[in-house]
Structure 1
Amino acid sequence: MGKRDYYELLGVNSNATDDEIKRAFRQLAKKYHPDVSKEKNAEAKFKEINEAYEVLSDPNKRLNYDQFGHMGTNTNSFGGFGNGGFGGTADFENIFSGGFGDIFENFFGGGKKQSGFRNQPIKGENISASVVVTLKEQMFGKTVKLDLNIDKKCESCEGTGAKDPKKYIHNCTTCDGYGYINIEQRSIFGIIKSQQPCPDCKGRGEVITNKCSKCKGQGHYRGKEAVEIELPKSIYENQQVRIREKGNYGLNNGSRGDLYLEISVKPNKYFKRVNDDLHLNLPISYLDALLGAEIKVPTFDGDVHLKLPSNTKTNSIFNIPNHGFFKSPTSSKRGDLIVNMIVTIPTKLSTEEKTILQKLKNSSSFKITDDFYENL
């Protein structure tokens, strides 16, 4: 398949001026450059317009093209990288100056010395720990004491990593103290410039010639730290609680990382949390259930007296308001205590108790009526 006409590719006529050709190419380059374009076959289209511009922007090549067509050009399929072709550094920057060049600078660094990575504060890493609490502690919160194994800031060198910061810290000669180095690579798009952290100073811009013996030049060391943490009230099991700046120390005076606590709750034999309510299965005497009584109901706020009516059955529910969990860690409103009565039967009876119960059994109140059997 033959090549398309170069003027047609750039969308200009054969009498177009140099400025018109340059403007047309810049617009198409913005549209089809593979690093920024989402157009289909953008790379192939970019190669075509680049080849057309290489010829039409050069007076001698354009004259030959106008006289002899494609046979009058000596370009390859994408142009060269020498002084005469597009792709050389000077031409590349000139074409995109004031417009598309800014985009390339963002992509590839632009080659300018900026603040870079030098001594930028780096936040410390986050750490995690687990805490086991009782149901009551879950309801009201708790002060937790932990011994954390963390990266601590070295007191000997004040986090600098040097035995004497005034004597043994110098600018890195590899990056001239900027913390990064510029990389230039040739590609089909020209010279691509990028930046990366300096391999010698790791982006600090400085090197240590005599390291601190305690932290071995790291500026921090592994050690124990005792902390007290206030767990909020009414947290949920398996909830992560974030405590800011209780994690590892940061580099270059960066802030500390965070501590994430994983909360587990010990099982309780009688109480159970259901949303904001607290449920209690309460064993009661069969005599109290039968005759009625005033009983004490244990709660996490202390005992509450409850009047039990006669003939209370198993699974009878009684509601004690405002004795459940708080609606939120910052709220004073609470759920309820839901008491489920469990009537218990004794497994052992004395002779006297058996005699009394036998007399009760023979009374009419404890007999099943004949009507029940007749209606079966």
Structure 2
Amino acid sequence: MQFKDYYQILGVEPSAGEAELKTAYRRLARKYHPDVSKEAGAEEKFKAVNEAYEALRDPQKRAAYDELRTRGYRPGDEVHPPPGGFGGGPGGFDFEEVFAGGDGGGFSDFFESLFGRTRGNGFGQQAPGRGPQPRGPTRAKLAVPLEAVHDGSTIRIGVNGKSLDVRIPKGIRPGQAIRLAGQGAHGDLLLEIEYAAHPQFEVDGRNVIYVAAVAPWEAALGATVSVPTLGGPVDLKIPADSEAGRKLRLRGRGLPGAPPGDQIVELEVLAPRANNDAEREAYEHMKAVFGDDWRRA
């Protein structure tokens, strides 16, 4: 099992704060998303970025990873878990979590050895150095894709090497629980819901936030652009004279509820790179037309 430098994967320093991590994740996830990227190996890079962010966005997971990282491992170094895995024993890391997807969510052996199922003290088993497990419902957290929350669909999860199909109630909120009768160690399995990180959207209550990149002329002159939503792409009208940071609202396009949430589209004005003489000439023409005093205007 090889050590992974999650900070290096995201291109941030170990001192990076929550906002910096989120910005790096969104940038790389959009770059390598399999639906849009034509780059070789984009899918594997997307999975690596998603895994790195999943490890670092949670303070408890990040603290456990940082503790391991201080032992001097470098990317590619062999890591040998102690008997019982990283999860057991004094000073070990203890997480109870299941992952969407029957294969454990597509995370690497390194991730799962540090945080989840392969560590040798899964649901219902007694971890080294602990007393007997109390009888009653087994509790675990489940990171659910936003699409499943929006649609109310069924997802497959992996628990102790077996796959279970779980119906996600439409609009379920973080902190609410789903009970699976008889699937726990000594009774039922209670899955506490949290929202999985998404490469395109963030959540604020029932509202979904999306940052849309628009060209300077689209912002200045107005345009109609296609933007993704959890229910599929829609056309959004960009008013003329829009500035970076302007927020536009797509009513009812957020998460279901009473009332349903909206999708908030925040405009990010990006200048395309001039890749040839014609494009550079176009920028020269803009420079001549607007002059050096355009900031003052």
Q: TM-score range by the shorter chain?
A: 0.3 to 0.5
The structure showing larger relative contact order (alpha-carbon pairs under 8 Å, at least 6 residues apart) is 1
Q: Given the two structures, how large is their TM-score scaled by the length of structure 2? A: 0.47
Q: Which has the larger radius of gyration?
A: 1
